[in-house]
C-alpha cells in the first residue's frame, strides 16, 4: 500500500503536458483523477518515475452542444458528467453510467478521459462509448487527431494512444426521441466493478426496432460490440428480443476469475442483454 | 438507564479528533517495515540484509537470528485445550523456514515508513519452496506435507465430548438427517488497522507500549512472557481503538518487535499495518468444516445430535487459536432441549494465516450448523420450519437450566421471541406472496429463512474458563471515585474499541449515584491508570465489567450513606437515598447531597470513628455463570433465478439481551452484527489457491458489503433478565453475527426449494447460487465447468455436493 518514490510535475496546459511527456520519456505517466493509477501504484504494480498532473487543466472540463454531438472535456469528472443537463437531455446513457462508477468519492475525483485512456475492459464507460460509436480527440507533438471508439480500445489496458499523447475530448452523438437506451451492470456489490455490463442503444420506429447497438463490459480484452445481437435485432419486433439476446456471447472471450467463470459471464451477457434491450425499448 | 443517551465518544470520532496510535509522533521516532514471505511454505536458503542498510534513511536491519535471544517466549498462545495439544514455537521473525504467505523474514528500521518499505527491496533472500498444505482434510491424510516437521503431524489436538447416550438416541430415531457445512475463512476488517508505538519510559526503567488492541492488560502479561522483560516494567496503553471484532484480541509479532527494537535502539519505534498486511498477517476468523447429524422422531422431536468438526489453526497458534472451536462446542444444541449430544473437534495446521477469535468466535459456527440442520429436518418431515423449532424449544425458564451441551442456560423465553418476530414479519403474508411468485414462475423468487439462536456471553466465571483451557480469570474490576468537587471518575478494566462503554458506564454510574452522565468520566485502556482488568471481547464487558461498575457504585453509596447519617445526625437505617440526595425518612428537609458527602469524606474533618477518608471504591466481579442472550430472526430474500443474485429484502430480528441500558447502542451493535453475519452468508470469504497464495488480498477482491447491500433492519426485543448478575443484563455485541448467517442461507434454500435446491454454501455469491440451480435442475454438464473454474480456487473451503448424499 506504499508506492515507490516518484517525482511530480504539474502540467499548465495540454502543450506543456505533451512537452513534459517528451522530456521524461517512457517512465512518465499522466495523472488525472488518479483513481485508476494510484491504486495500482500503491500495490507496486505500476512504478512511474514521474507523474504529470493534468488535474489543474480547468479548460478541459466542459460539456458543449456541437449540433450533432456533445463534446465532453477529458478532465470532466464523473459526477459532473452525471449531473450535466446537456448530457441528461441528449445522451442520458453517459450521465447514467457516470453515476454508477464506483462510489461517490470515486465519481468526484475520476475523469471521463481517465477511464477511457486507462483502457480497462471492466470499466463501464468504454462499452457505453463503444455502443454510442463515439470518438476521442487526442493531441500529440504533431497536433490533434480524432479516433473512433472501435479503433481506440486495442487490448487489455492498451489503447491507440501514443506515449506522448493526451486525450482532450470525447464526442458522443445526441440521441433523438426515438432512441432508447440502457446500461445494465451486473456486479456482486453495488459499488463494484462489473462482472458483466451491457450498454444498449436502440432506434425505434412504430414499436419495432430499427437498429440497435450493444456494447459489452468485461467480456474480453476490450469493450466488445455484440454484433450478432445487433444484426438479429435490426428490424425486429419486441418479441424477437429474447432470442436475439441469446447470441450476446458470440465472439466474446471473457476471463475466468474469482468473481465469475467465463461460462457464467457468457450466461449473464445473454440475460443482461435481453433485459437491457427491453429496458431501452421502454425508455 | 434505559434511555438513548447520545454516545459521548462520537463527537471526537466524527470530527477527526480521536487519538489513534498512528497519530502519536515522538521525537527521534523510527519506523519499521517487514519483509514478508511471498511463499506459503519454503526454506530460507540465503538471507542478507546488508544491502538494505545502505539505503537512504535506514538505521538498522535485522534477521530472525539477530534477534532470537530477545524473544525467549516467541509469540504466545495462552490456550491449552488438551494435555497433548501441539504448540509449536512461533518466532516473531523466522530463522529458517516460512510457513504461510505473509510470514516474516526480516525487519528494516528507518526514519520513515516509506524509506523502510523501499529498503525492503534491497534485502537479499532466496527461498526453496516446500510442499504446501492448504486444506484440512488433506492435512490429516497420511503422508501429507507437514507444516511443522518437528511435530510429526498436522493434528494440533483432538477433543471429544459426549453428554447422554448418543448411540441410543440415534437407534431410537425415526429420521436421521446428515449435513456437511463449511465455515469459510473470514478476514477481519477493523476500520483502523493495527498499529503500535513502543518507547523506553523516560522516567524509570521500563517501557510504554501504545497499541491498537482490545486487550491492554493481557498484552502487558503476554509481552512480558514473550520477551522476558518483567511485567512491572511494561505499561500498555490502548488509545482510541478503531474496531477489532476479535482481530485485536491478540498480541502479535509486530507488537513484540516494536518493544524489542525500542529496547535495542533506545528510540521510540512505530509500526502501522497497511491493508495488504491486514489481509495476510492479522488473524483470520472461522475456517471450519462441520459434519452434523440430527436424530428425531416423525413428529419432529429431536432426540440427539452428533457433530464432527475440523478447525483450521493456520500455520501457528496465536493467542487463543485452539480454544475458539471448543468454546463454541457446547452451543451446538442451541435453543433446543434434548438428551444426547456429542462433538469431536480436531485442530489442524495448514500453511495459511493463523486463525483466532472473530466476532462470535465459535458460536456463529454452532448456531449456523444447528439452525441449518433443523431446517433440513423440517424439509425431511415436510413440516413448517417454525413448527419444528417450536416443538423443541425449552419451556420458558428464569433459573439456571441444564442443557445437552453440559452448560446451564441462565434464562430463556424463545416462544415470546418467536411469536413477536413472526408477527413483525407478517409470516402468513410472506408465505402467500411466496406462493404467488411460485405460481407465476416469477424469475425473482422469495425466500423466508428463520434462525432461533442463543449464545454464550459474559466471559466469564473464572472456574469455567479454567475448564476451557485458558487458565481462568474471567472477572472484571472497576474503581468508582467521587472527587472532591463532586465529579466522578470510573476506572474500568474493560477496553472499549467502538462499543460505547464511556456512555454506558456513565449511565450506570449516573443512575446509581444520582449524578448526570456528563458528571462522569470513564478511564480505560491504560494499565498505569486503571485497575488490572480482563479487557473486552466475548460480549463480556457489560455483563461482567459493567456489573463491577454498578457494584462499586453501590459500595460508594453504602459508604456515603454512613457518612450522611453521621452528618444528618440520624440512624443509618433512617437514611433514604434518591436522586443524589440523602435525606432522613419522614423529614425530607433534613438532607445532604452526595457531592457534599463526597467533599466531607475527602476533608475527613468529621467522619465516623474508623471510617477511611475519601469516596473511592473498588470492586471485582466474578460472575457465577455465563449469560445467554437469545433471539429469533426472519430473513426475507429475493433471489434472481436467472442470475443467481440473492438480495436481502427485509430482515426482522427480535433479540433478548435482558434489560437494555442504552437502546441506541444496543441497536447499533445489532445493526453491525447483522451486517457482519449477512456478510459471511452472502459476500465475504478468503480464497487461497492450491499453493497457499491469498487471492482475495484487497478490498477489490474480498467482498465486504456496503450500505447498498444491506436492508433496513426491523428490530424489536423481548426482555428476559439474567439471574447471573444484579442488573440482569446479558450482552449484545455478537448476537447479530450469530443469528444472521443461518437465517440468510435458510431463506435462499427456501426460495429455491421448488427448483430442488437443498444446500447452499457460504458466501452465496451469484455464481454459486446460479450453479446450485443448474445442478438441481440437472444441467450438470454446463455447471461442471463453472465449478471447476471457481471450486479449484477454493479447494480448502469447499466440498461441493456432499450434503446431497443423504
Ligand atoms: C474504489 C474504486 C471503484 C471504482 N469502481 C469503478 C467502476 O465500478 N466502474 C468503472 O468504470 N470504474 C471504476 N473505478 C475507476 C474510476 O472510474 C477511475 O476514476 C477511472 O477509471 C480513471 O479516471 P481517472 O481520472 O481517475 O484516471 P487516472 O487514474 O488519473 O489515470 C488512469 C490512466 O489514464 C491515463 N490518463 C488519464 N487521463 C488522461 C488523459 N486525459 N489523456 C491521456 N491519458 C490519461 C493515466 O496516465 C493513467 O494511465 C473505480 C475506482 C476506484 C478507486
Mean pLDDT of B739-753: 98
Helices (H), A209-261: 227-233, 241-245
Do both B499 and B577 map to the same domain? yes
In a domain, B15, yes or no: yes
The domain defined by A7-53 folds into: 3.30.43
Task: Give pLDDT, residue B234.
Answer: 97
CB contact under 8 Å between A264 and B705, yes or no, is no
Grid coordinates representing B513 are: 449515584
**Residues 6+ positions from A61 with CB-CB distance below 8 Å:** A73, A75, A76, A77, A80
State how far the alpha carbon of B680 is from the alpha carbons of B633, B735, B741, in Å: 16, 14, 7
- For chain A, strand residue ranges (E) read 7-10, 28-31, 50-53, 63-66, 69-73, 135-140, 143-148, 153-155, 158-159, 166-173, 179-186, 196-205, 208-217, 224-225
Q: Are residues B59 and B115 in the same domain?
A: yes
Model-level pTM?
0.95
What tens digit of pLDDT does each residue of B256-283 get? 999 999 999 999 999 999 999 999 999 9
Q: What angle do CA B167, B169, B173 make, to 5 degrees?
A: 115
Q: Are B200 and B266 in contact (CB under 8 A)?
A: yes
Ligand 1 centroid–CA A101 distance in Å is 10
| Interchain contact B698–A (C-beta under 8 A) | yes
Same domain, B232 and B315: no
How far off is chain B from A15, nearest CA to CA, in Å?
33
Domain closes at, from B272, B295, B318:
B272
DSSP H or E segment with residue B275:
helix B275-281
DSSP at B525: S
Cβ-nearest to A261 among B118, B687, B767:
B767
Question: What confidence tens digit (pLDDT) does each residue in A85-121 have?
Answer: 999 999 999 999 999 999 999 999 999 999 999 999 9
Q: Which of A33, A36, A165 should be mutated for ligand 1, with most atoms under 8 A from CB?
A: A36
pLDDT by residue (tens digit) across B22-34? 999 999 999 999 9
> With contact defined as beta carbons under 8 Å apart, do B367 and B353 qualify?
no
Q: Give the pairing type, strands B713-717 and B645-656.
A: parallel
pLDDT tens digits, one per residue of B363-406: 999 999 999 999 999 999 999 999 999 999 999 999 999 999 99
Question: What pLDDT is attached to residue B787?
Answer: 42
Q: How far is CA B58 from CA A181, B55, B63, in A?
A: 58, 6, 15
B residues 93-132 near A, CB within 8 Å? Answer: 113-114, 117-118
Identify the domain boundary among B248, B272, B296.
B272
Enclosing H/E stretch for B660: none
Average pLDDT over residues B633-661: 98
Residue B792 sits at the chain A interface (C-beta within 8 Å): no
Distance A36 CA to ligand 1 centre (A): 4
Based on the fold, state whether residues B642 and B575 are members of the same structural domain: no
B782 to chain A, any CB pair closer than 8 A? The answer is yes
What phi and psi, each to the nearest 5 degrees, are found at residue B176? -130, 125
Taking only the tens place, the pLDDT of each residue in B191-203 is 999 999 999 987 7
Distant-in-sequence, close-in-space partners of B475: CB < 8 Å, separation ≥ 6: B462, B534, B544, B548, B620, B621, B622, B623
Q: In this complex, do A261 and B113 lie within 8 Å of one another by their Cβ atoms?
A: no
Whether the Cβ atoms of residue B782 and residue B775 lie closer than 8 Å to each other: no
> Do B744 and B449 contact (CB within 8 A), yes or no?
yes
CA angle A143, A146, A148 (to 5 degrees): 155
Calculate the CA B601 to chain-centre distance.
Answer: 42
- CATH architecture designation of domain A58-173: 2-Layer Sandwich (3.30)
What is the number of domains present in chain B? 3
Looking at the fold, whether B292 and B256 belong to one and the same domain comes out as: no
Beta bridge partners, B60, equal B109
* Three cell numbers written together for B755: 427448483
**Cell triple for B571:** 440512624
Q: For residue B129, which phi and psi values (nearest 5 degrees)? A: -60, 140
CATH number reported for the structural domain that contains residue B526 in this entry: 3.30.365.10
Same domain, B64 and B206: yes
How far apart (Å, rounded) are the C-alpha atoms in residues B702 and B700?
6
Interface contact flag, A261 B786, Cβ < 8 Å: yes
> What confidence score (pLDDT) does residue B780 get?
61
Cα B320 to the center of its chain, rounded Å:
11
* Closest residue of chain A to B688, computed from CA coordinates: A258
CATH 3.30.43.10 maps onto chain A at 7-53
User: Domain check: are B309 and B357 in the same one?
Assistant: yes
The finding on whether A123 has its CB within 6 A of some atom of ligand 1 is yes
Residues of A in contact with B789 (CB under 8 A): 256, 261-264
DSSP state at residue B692: -
In this structure, are B650 and B596 located in the same domain?
no
SS3 A89: helix
CATH entry, A179-282, from 3.30.830.10, 3.30.9.10, 3.10.20.30, 3.30.390.50: 3.30.390.50
**Can you tell me whether residue A147 is helix, strand or coil?**
strand
B581, pLDDT greater than 70: yes
Nearest Cα residue to B343 out of B335, B352, B334: B334
Candidates B22, B185, B194, B642, partner chain A, best to mutate (most A CBs within 10 A): B642
Closest listed residue to residue B397, CA positions, set B420, B414, B419: B414
- At B459, list the grid cell: 466471559
**In which residue ranges of chain A is CATH 3.30.390.50 found?**
179-282
Ordered DSSP codes for B62-83: EEHHHHGGG-TT-S------ST
Q: How far apart are CA B362 and CA B610, in angstroms?
A: 51
Q: B376: closest CA among B711, B755, B75, B742? A: B742
Query: Which one-letter DSSP state was computed for residue B755?
Result: G
Q: Which residues span the domain enclosing B125?
A: 10-130+194-272
- In chain B, which residues have their Cβ closer than 8 Å to the Cβ of A191? 706, 708
Mutation site, A1, A6, A104, A198, interface B, largest B CB count within 10 A: A1
Q: How many residues does chain A have?
A: 283
Res. B470: pLDDT tops 90: no
All three cell numbers of A51: 507523474
Chain B closest CA to A92's CA: distance in Å? 23
- Assigned C-alpha cell, A208: 419495432
In a domain, B219, yes or no: yes
Task: Report yes or no on B177 lying in a domain.
Answer: no
Q: Give the phi and the psi of residue A155 in degrees, each rounded to 5.
A: -165, 180
Residue position matching grid coordinates 474490576: B477
Query: Where residue B60 sits, what CATH number does that domain have?
Result: 3.90.1170.50
Query: Which chain B residue's Cα is nearest to A102?
Result: B700
Does residue B415 share a domain with residue B329? yes
- pLDDT at position B793 over 60: no
**Taking Cα atoms as reference points, which of A215, A273, A264 lies closest to residue A246?**
A273
Residue closest via CA to ligand 1's atom 43 equals A166
Q: Does A43 touch chain B (CB under 8 A)?
A: yes
Q: Please tell me which of the candidates A2, A264, A272 has its beta carbon nearest to residue B767.
A: A264
CB proximity B57 to A under 8 Å: no
Whether the per-residue pLDDT at B84 is higher than 80: the answer is: yes
Question: What DSSP string runs through B352-372?
Answer: SPPB---TTTTHHHHHHHHHH
Where in the sequence of chain A do the CATH 3.30.465.10 domains occur? 58-173
Contacts of B532 (CB under 8 A, 6+ apart): B217, B477, B493
The pLDDT of residue B388: 98
User: Residue B154 falls within a domain, yes or no?
Assistant: no
- Whole-number Å distance, alpha carbon B278 to ligand 1 midpoint, is 26
Per-residue pLDDT of chain A (283 residues; tens, 9 = 90+): 889 999 999 999 999 999 999 999 989 999 999 999 999 999 889 999 999 999 999 999 999 999 999 999 999 999 999 999 999 999 999 999 999 999 999 999 999 999 999 999 999 999 999 999 999 999 999 999 999 999 999 999 999 999 999 999 999 999 999 999 999 999 999 989 999 999 999 999 988 999 999 999 999 999 999 999 999 999 999 999 999 999 999 999 999 998 999 999 999 999 999 999 999 999 8
Whether A100 and chain B come into contact, CB under 8 Å, resolves to: no
Q: List chain A residues with CB under 8 Å of B688.
A: none
Q: What is the pLDDT of residue B471?
A: 84
Whether B764 and B727 map to the same domain: the answer is: yes
User: How far is ligand 1, taken at its centre, from the CA of residue A109, in Å?
Assistant: 9
Nearest residue to B294 via CA among B308, B281, B284, B304: B304
Q: Which residues pair with A201 in a beta bridge?
A: A181, A213
Q: Residue B122 Cα, ligand 1 centroid: separation in angstroms?
A: 32
**Cβ separation A189–B789 shorter than 8 A:** no
Tell me how far the alpha carbon of residue B715 lies from the centroid of ligand 1, in angstroms. 41
Residue to mutate (ligand 1; options A3, A42, A97, A117; most atoms within 8 A of CB): A117
User: CB distance B683–A271 less than 8 Å?
Assistant: no
Residue A76 host element (H or E): none
Q: Which of A199, A119, A125 is nearest to A159 (CA)?
A: A119
Is the pLDDT score of B800 beyond 90?
no
Share above pLDDT 90 across residues of chain B, in percent, rounded to a whole number: 93
Identify the domain boundary among B564, B589, B621.
B621
State the Cα–Cα distance between residues B724 and B432, nearest whole angstrom: 43
Question: Is residue B389 domain-shared with residue B490, that is, in the same domain?
Answer: no
Instruction: With respect to residue B376, please indicate whether it lies within any of the assigned structural domains.
Output: yes
Average of per-residue pLDDT across B293-319 = 98
pLDDT the model gives residue B792: 35
Looking at residue B805, what is its pLDDT?
A: 34
| Inter-chain CB pairs, A–B, below 8 Å | 66
B708 touches A: beta carbon within 8 Å: yes
Task: Output DSSP code: residue B594.
Answer: H
Is B789 in Cβ contact with A263 (below 8 Å)?
yes
Q: Does B174 contact A at CB distance below 8 Å?
A: no
Chain B contact present for A264, CB below 8 A: yes
| Closest ligand 1 atom number to CA of residue A74 | 41
Residues 192-211 (A) with a CB less than 8 A from some CB of B: 192-193, 195
d(CA B183, CA B797): 7
**B786 in reach of chain A (CB within 8 A):** yes
Residue nearest to atom 41 of ligand 1 (CA): A167
> Do A133 and A173 form a contact (C-beta atoms < 8 A)?
yes
**What cell was used for B55?**
539505503
Residue A53 CA, chain-centre distance (Å), reads: 21
Same domain, B557 and B585: yes
Our answer on whether the CB atom of A118 is closer than 6 Å to any ligand 1 atom is: yes
Amino acid at each position: 500500500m506504499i508506492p515507490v518514490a516518484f517525482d511530480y510535475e504539474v502540467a499548465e496546459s495540454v502543450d506543456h503536458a505533451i512537452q513534459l511527456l517528451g522530456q521524461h520519456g517512457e517512465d512518465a505517466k499522466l495523472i488525472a483523477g488518479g483513481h485508476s493509477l494510484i491504486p495500482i501504484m500503491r500495490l507496486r504494480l505500476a512504478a512511474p518515475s514521474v507523474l504529470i498532473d493534468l488535474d489543474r487543466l480547468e479548460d478541459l472540463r466542459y460539456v458543449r452542444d456541437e449540433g450533432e454531438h456533445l463534446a465532453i472535456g477529458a478532465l470532466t469528472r464523473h459526477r459532473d458528467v452525471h449531473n450535466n443537463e446537456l448530457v441528461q437531455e441528449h445522451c442520458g446513457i453517459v450521465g447514467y453510467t457516470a453515476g454508477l462508477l464506483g462510489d461517490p468519492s470515486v465519481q468526484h475525483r475520476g475523469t471521463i478521459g481517465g477511464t477511457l485512456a486507462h483502457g480497462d475492459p471492466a470499466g463501464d464507460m468504454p462499452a457505453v462509448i463503444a455502443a454510442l460509436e463515439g470518438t476521442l480527440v487526442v493531441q500529440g507533438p504533431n497536433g490533434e487527431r480524432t479516433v473512433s471508439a472501435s479503433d481506440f480500445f486495442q487490448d487489455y489496458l492498451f489503447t491507440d494512444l501514443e506515449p506522448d499523447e493526451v486525450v482532450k475530448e470525447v464526442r458522443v452523438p445526441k440521441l433523438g426521441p426515438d432512441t432508447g437506451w440502457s446500461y445494465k451492470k451486473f456486479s456482486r456489490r453495488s459499488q463494484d466493478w462489473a462482472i458483466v455490463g451491457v450498454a444498449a442503444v436502440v432506434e425505434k420506429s412504430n414499436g419495432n426496432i430499427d437498429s440497435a447497438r450493444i456494447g459489452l463490459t468485461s467480456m474480453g480484452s476490450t469493450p466488445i460490440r455484440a454484433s450478432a445481437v445487433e444484426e438479429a435485432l435490426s428490424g425486429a419486433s419486441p418479441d424477437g428480443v429474447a432470442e436475439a439476446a441469446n447470441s450476446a456471447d458470440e465472439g466474446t472471450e471473457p476471463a475466468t476469475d474469482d468473481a465469475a467463470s467465463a461460462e457464467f459471464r457468457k450466461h449473464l451477457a445473454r440475460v443482461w442483454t435481453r433485459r437491457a434491450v427491453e429496458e431501452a425499448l421502454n425508455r | 438507564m434505559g434511555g438513548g443517551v447520545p454516545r459521548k465518544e462520537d463527537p471526537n470520532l466524527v470530527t477527526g479528533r480521536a487519538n489513534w496510535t498512528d497519530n502519536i509522533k515522538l521525537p527521534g521516532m523510527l519506523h519499521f517495515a517487514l519483509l514478508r514471505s511471498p511463499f506459503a511454505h519454503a526454506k530460507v536458503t540465503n538471507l542478507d540484509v546488508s544491502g538494505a542498510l545502505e539505503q537512504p534513511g535506514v538505521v538498522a536491519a535485522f534477521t530472525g537470528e539477530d534477534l532470537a535471544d530477545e524473544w525467549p517466549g516467541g509469540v504466545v498462545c495462552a490456550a491449552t485445550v488438551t494435555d497433548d495439544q501441539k504448540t509449536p514455537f512461533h518466532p516473531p521473525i523466522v530463522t529458517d523456514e516460512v510457513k504461510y504467505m505473509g510470514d516474516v523474514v526480516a525487519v528494516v528500521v528507518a526514519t520513515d515508513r516509506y524509506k523502510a518499505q523501499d529498503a525492503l527491496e534491497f534485502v537479499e533472500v532466496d527461498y526453496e519452496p516446500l510442499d504446501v498444505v492448504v486444506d484440512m482434510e488433506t492435512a490429516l491424510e497420511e503422508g501429507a506435507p507437514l507444516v511443522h516437521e518437528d511435530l510429526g503431524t498436522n493434528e494440533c489436538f483432538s477433543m471429544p465430548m459426549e453428554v447422554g447416550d448418543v448411540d441410543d438416541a440415534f437407534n431410537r430415531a425415526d429420521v436421521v438427517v446428515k449435513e456437511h457445512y463449511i465455515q469459510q475463512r473470514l478476514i477481519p476488517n477493523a476500520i483502523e488497522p493495527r498499529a503500535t508505538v513502543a518507547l523506553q519510559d523516560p522516567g524509570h526503567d521500563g517501557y510504554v507500549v501504545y497499541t491498537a488492541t482490545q486487550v491492554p492488560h493481557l498484552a502487558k502479561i503476554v509481552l512480558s512472557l514473550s520477551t522476558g522483560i518483567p511485567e512491572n516494567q511494561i505499561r500498555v496503553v490502548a488509545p482510541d481503538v478503531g474496531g477489532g471484532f476479535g482481530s485485536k484480541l491478540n498480541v502479535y509479532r509486530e507488537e513484540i518487535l516494536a518493544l524489542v527494537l525500542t529496547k535495542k535502539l533506545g528510540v521510540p519505534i512505530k509500526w502501522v499495518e497497511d491493508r495488504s498486511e491486514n489481509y495476510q498477517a492479522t488473524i483470520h476468523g472461522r475456517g471450519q468444516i462441520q459434519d452434523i447429524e440430527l436424530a428425531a422422531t416423525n413428529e419432529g422431536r429431536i432426540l440427539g445430535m452428533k457433530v464432527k468438526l475440523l478447525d483450521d489453526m493456520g500455520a501457528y497458534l496465536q493467542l487463543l487459536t485452539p480454544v475458539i472451536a471448543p468454546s463454541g462446542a457446547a452451543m451446538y444444541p442451541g435453543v433446543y432441549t434434548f438428551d444426547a449430544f456429542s462433538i469431536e473437534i480436531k485442530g489442524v495446521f495448514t500453511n495459511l494465516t493463523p486463525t483466532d477469535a472473530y466476532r462470535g468466535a465459535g458460536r456463529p459456527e454452532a448456531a449456523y450448523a444447528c439452525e441449518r440442520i433443523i431446517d433440513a429436518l423440517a424439509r425431511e418431515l415436510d413440516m413448517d420450519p417454525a413448527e419444528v423449532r417450536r416443538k423443541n424449544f425449552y419451556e420458558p425458564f428464569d433459573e439456571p437450566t441444564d442443557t445437552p451441551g453440559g452448560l446451564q442456560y441462565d434464562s430463556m423465553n424463545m416462544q415470546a421471541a418467536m411469536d413477536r418476530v413472526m408477527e413483525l414479519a407478517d409470516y402468513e403474508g410472506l408465505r402467500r406472496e411466496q406462493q404467488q411468485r411460485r405460481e407465476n414462475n416469477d424469475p425473482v423468487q422469495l425466500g423466508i429463512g428463520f434462525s432461533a439462536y442463543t449464545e454464550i456471553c459474559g466471559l466469564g466465571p473464572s472456574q469455567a474458563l479454567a475448564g476451557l483451557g485458558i487458565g481462568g480469570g474471567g472477572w472484571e474490576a472497576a474503581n468508582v471515585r467521587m472527587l472532591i468537587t463532586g465529579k466522578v471518575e470510573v476506572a474500568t478494566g474493560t477496553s472499549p474499541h467502538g462499543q460505547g462503554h464511556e456512555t454506558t458506564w456513565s449511565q450506570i454510574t449516573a443512575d446509581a449515584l444520582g449524578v448526570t452522565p456528563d458528571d462522569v468520566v470513564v478511564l480505560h485502556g491504560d494499565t498505569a491508570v486503571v485497575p488490572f482488568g480482563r479487557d473486552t471481547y466475548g460480549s463480556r464487558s457489560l455483563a461482567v465489567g459493567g456489573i463491577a461498575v454498578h457494584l462499586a457504585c453501590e459500595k460508594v453509596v453504602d459508604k456515603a450513606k454512613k457518612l450522611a447519617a453521621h452528618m444528618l445526625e440520624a440512624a443509618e437505617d433512617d437514611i433514604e437515598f434518591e436522586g443524589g440526595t440523602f435525606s432522613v425518612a419522614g423529614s425530607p428537609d433534613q438532607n445532604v447531597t452526595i457531592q457534599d458527602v463526597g467533599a466531607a469524606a475527602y476533608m475527613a474533618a468529621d467522619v465516623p470513628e474508623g471510617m477511611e477518608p475519601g469516596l473511592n471504591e473498588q470492586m471485582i466481579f466474578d460472575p457465577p455463570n455465563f449469560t445467554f442472550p437469545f433471539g429469533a430472526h426472519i430473513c426475507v430474500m429475493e433471489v434472481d433465478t436467472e442470475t443467481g443474485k440473492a438480495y436481502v429484502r427485509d430482515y426482522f430480528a427480535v433479540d433478548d439481551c435482558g434489560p437494555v441500558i442504552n437502546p441506541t447502542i444496543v441497536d447499533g451493535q445489532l445493526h453491525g452484527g447483522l451486517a457482519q453475519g449477512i456478510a459471511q452468508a452472502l459476500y465475504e470469504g478468503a480464497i487461497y489457491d492450491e499453493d497457499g497464495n491469498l487471492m482475495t488480498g484487497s478490498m477489490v477482491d474480498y467482498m465486504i458489503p456496503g450500505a447498498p447491500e444491506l436492508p433496513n433492519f426491523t428490530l424489536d426485543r423481548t426482555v428476559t433478565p439474567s439471574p447471573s448478575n444484579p442488573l440482569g443484563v446479558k450482552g449484545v455485541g455478537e448476537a447479530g453475527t450469530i443469528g444472521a448467517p443461518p437465517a440468510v442461507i435458510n431463506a435462499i434454500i427456501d426460495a429455491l426449494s421448488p427448483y430442488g435446491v437443498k444446500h447452499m454454501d457460504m458466501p452465496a455469491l451469484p455464481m454459486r447460487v446460479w450453479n446450485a440451480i443448474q445442478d438441481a435442475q440437472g444441467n450438470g454438464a454446463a455447471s461442471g465447468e463453472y465449478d471447476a473454474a471457481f471450486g479449484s480456487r477454493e479447494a480448502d473451503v469447499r466440498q461441493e455436493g456432499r450434503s446431497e448424499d443423504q
